[in-house]
Structure 1
Amino acid sequence: GEAIVGGRICLIEDVKEIGRFVDGAILVTRITDPDWVPIMKRAAAIVTDHGGRTSHAAIVSRELGLPAIVGTGNATHVLHDDQEVTVSCAEGDQGFVYEGIAKFEVETLDFSSLPETTTRIMLNLANPAAAYRWWRIPAEGVGLARMEFVVSNHIKAHPLALARFDTLKDDKVRAEIEALTTGYADKTEYFVDSLSRGLARIAAAFYPKPVIVRMSDFKTNEYAGLVGGAEFEPKEENPMIGFRGASRYYSPRYRDGFALECQAIRRLRNDMGFNNVVVMIPFCRSVKEADKVLEVMAESGLKRGEDGLEVYVMCEIPSNVILAKEFAKRFDGFSIGSNDLTQLTLGVDRDSGELAGLFDEQDEAVEW
């Protein structure tokens, strides 16, 4: 964000200690994941040792409207509990932590006087609860609604652990899923119902303006972290360029899970009436892969062009740029994914703190 806040630090290194978090404190920790969200919602600001601009802490903080400084390297060693500091994200691309409570001024903008722009300005959202926080902003809809937030924070279970519940070997996992799906005779219905309702909150906040929902783009290590996920995910050396995005949708390894995602989108559009929802496919490596995904979607009741359904694709791999004309024949629009496009053009792991200085979305090779 671009905010600034002063307050006392609450340093927590292990998620097991979140019970001692003080409401309104500045959370300082090594790294966050979905287990930290309950206290992130109660924090005034967040500072982490690890992570980049696309890390969990950065994305969730943006959704919550919190100032966050990630990838500091040594915050948990330099800062300490009850220390008074000011966290500033209002001074450009770099954030700063100042000792003591600094004085600052707040400027309030009147949105009603903003001029119209030729380019349609749209929001990026993931947290359904945040949709009603930002609806007053004069945006032309949602350009990216991330499905993963609903799955990891509300559903919590791996879709295949629900679809193939009877094959699960871990009794503890089975018990967790039984608890999560209480009241549902069909465990897959829990996934479809929860996902469609979560996304509906975003679609409703901006209706009838378009809401572009990206289908799941977890990496295998992230999927494995969901309840029951470890039994279904391969271990990869580099999940960032591994079994993710479009390649999962038609693969026997995940096809049943993707079918549940499609069911949720169908319910969202056809049963709930949110025909403003547009589907977007992430990390589609080739035009052949695009054809396979569109075929699988059609088999699941989501056929491009039917009932006004538009299907977009993320332009985040060099092949998407090189073969843009071919991809354009198969999709209704593109969304430029600058993070992955930068990563794959410059050969820089976007989550690497060591290489953070080389990750530049404005590098001439990326802009070319």
Structure 2
Amino acid sequence: MTNSAQSGLQFSEILKSSSQLSDMRADIGLLSVDDLLLEIGIHPLAAAYPADLSSETQQQLLAQTEGNPAEYFVSALAEKFITAAQKAGDKPLKVRLAGADSYQRQSLLGSELEAKEVNPLIGQRGVSRWANKAIRKAFELECEAIKRARIAEGMANIELVIPFVRTFSEAATAIDLLAEQGLCRGAQGLKVHLMAELPANALMAEKFLQYFDGLVIDIDQLAQFALGLDQTHPSLEYLHDDQNEAVLALIDHALKATNVAKKPCDMLSHYINKAPNLQLWLMEHGVSKVITQ
């Protein structure tokens, strides 16, 4: 495995579990709410709408959450934010809000409340999920956890990263929904970044950046959607290529847009240690830091 000293890049880590904090040597590049939800073990919809569960699941949930699922969920998530923000110290803690596809939440208690999708990968995720009024309360609980950490506990180094933003309209919706929950971009120094994982985000980065304070480019996701493949499909694994010319062209366009806008651009790649040519390409294009796992 290539380390940062060998490659010339500086690596930070994705925080997916509280257990990582005890022996984490690198900086926290990104905190993944989706992964922390798996650690908590309760589906956000179950915490938000416990009365909609079957009686058996409801009893199990109430027993596990001391009779208050919403409070348990918010407190557990806020505690993880606070611990991570303290670990980050005077450096920003970028928190990627929940944006995973519904398939990834199937193991959580109360997952029966989430509608089954024919194609979760391009289904209701990210902003389209938050904007759904029928399940908005789950998003509100996530925001409450952020507010407790950032405002009530003074973790002002917490910044937000918004995943799966398909259009400019969704970009505006995300900012509006956060503001409705008391998380106004710019208020108390709050920065809100775009998780650039769709080709549209890269191609139209100039306009998307009007809504956000910077980009976090998920190279793996960008490759997945640019090349039209499912990373979890074993027979398609050979097609995954973060160094594909189309993918590099998208990254290059987004980088140029952030340079013009004078806004930061972080890189995220799970495969960077196995891609020496990509490492070289990134350094040649002025990238010095990469978030990995």
- TM bin, normalised by shorter chain, reads 0.7 to 0.9
Q: Distance in 1 between matches of 2:94 and 2:117?
A: 30
Residue 288 of structure 1: which of 131, 148, 169 is its match?
A: 169
Task: Give 1 or 2: higher helix fraction.
Answer: 2
The normalised TM-score by structure 2 is: 0.79
Output the CA distance in 1 between the equivalents of 2:13 and 2:109: 30
Which residue of structure 2 aligns with residue 146 of structure 1? 32
Q: Which residue identity does 2:149 align to in structure 1?
A: L
State the 1:171 CA deviation: 1.9
1:126 aligned onto 2:11: no
Higher Rg: 1
SS of match in other structure, 2:160: strand
Query: How far apart are residue 162 of structure 1 and its match?
Result: 2.0
Distance in 2, Cα, partners of 1:208 & 1:340: 29
Please give the secondary structure, in 2, of the residue aligned with 1:355: helix
Normalising by structure 1, what TM-score?
A: 0.64
Quote the residue 2:130 is aligned against: 249
Conserved? CA contact 1:132–1:205, under 8 Å: no
Determine if the alignment matches structure 1 residue 191 to structure 2 residue 73.
yes
Question: Which residue in the other structure is 2:197 paired with?
Answer: 316
CA distance in 2, matches of 1:280, 1:211: 10
Give yes or no for the alignment of 1:181 onto 2:65. yes
5 Å matches for 1:1-368? 2=1, 121-134=11-24, 136-137=25-26, 139=27, 142-154=28-40, 156-168=41-53, 170-182=54-66, 186-231=68-113, 233-368=114-249
Structure 2: unaligned runs, 5 residues or longer: 250-293
In structure 2, relative to structure 1, the CA distance for the partners of 1:132 and 1:245 (3 Å cut) is same
Matched residue of 1:349: which SS?
coil
Work out the CA distance in 2 between the residues paired with 1:166 and 1:236.
Answer: 23
Where structure 1 has 5 or more consecutive residues not aligned to the other structure, the ranges are 3-91, 93-108
Partners of 1:243 and 1:253 lie apart in 2 by 13
Report the secondary structure of 2:234's partner residue.
coil
Aligned-partner residue type, residue 166 of structure 1: A
Q: Which residue of 2 aligns with 1:46?
A: none
Deviation at 1:283, TM superposition (A): 0.8
User: How far apart, CA to CA, are the structure 2 residues paired with 1:234 and 1:344?
Assistant: 23
- 2: CA distance between counterparts of 1:143 and 1:327? 22
Match of 1:89 in 2: none
Matched-pair contact (CA < 8 Å) for 1:313–1:333: yes
Whole-angstrom distance in 1 between the partners of 2:117 and 2:44: 20
2:46 and 2:135 map into 1 onto residues whose CA distance is 11
Deviates more, 1:256-265 or 1:213-222: 213-222
Q: State the number of aligned residues.
A: 248
Percent identity at matched positions? 33
Residue in structure 2 matched with residue 51 of structure 1 by the alignment: none
- Give deviations 1:138-166, integer Å, cap 9, x for gaps: x4xx2211012221122x12222222222
**Does the Cα contact within 8 Å between 1:128 and 1:199 map onto a contact in 2?**
no
What SS does the aligned partner of 2:243 have?
coil
User: Distance between the aligned counterparts of 2:194 and 2:167, measured in 1?
Assistant: 11
- Write out per-residue CA displacement over residues 218-251 of structure 1, whole angstroms, 9 at most, x where no aligned residue: 31122343211212x2221211111111211111
Give the residue type in structure 2 aligned to 1:222.
Q
Q: Deviations over 1:240-282 (max 9, x none)?
A: 1111112111112431100110111111111111111110000
